[in-house]
Amino acid sequence: MYPYHNKIKQRISNGEMIKFEYVEKYKQIQPALLLYFKTEPYVRPIREHRFEEYEKLFKEIGLK
């Protein structure tokens, strides 16, 4: 199985993330945190139960 969150966190730490935003709905996910990257896959959605985990990571690396 693809290590979805581990790979995303690695990409964030490597400086590949361009921006992020919270949206009410993204495909079947609502609400969602969308992460935008320089390289493919360009958009990665995060479900609500993981928001806190990513917010903590953003603070640690000085994004928020």
Q: Which amino acid appears at position 43 of this protein?
A: V
Give the helix/strand (H/E) hosting 1: none
Q: Which domain holds residue 23?
A: 4-60
Split into its structural domains, the chain has a count of 1
Nearest residue to 51 via CA among 18, 13, 22? 22
35 vs 5: CA distance, rounded Å: 12
pLDDT in tens, 2-61: 699 999 999 999 999 999 999 999 999 999 999 999 999 999 999 999 999 999 999 998
7 vs 44: CA distance, rounded Å: 11
Residue 1 CA from chain centroid, whole number? 19
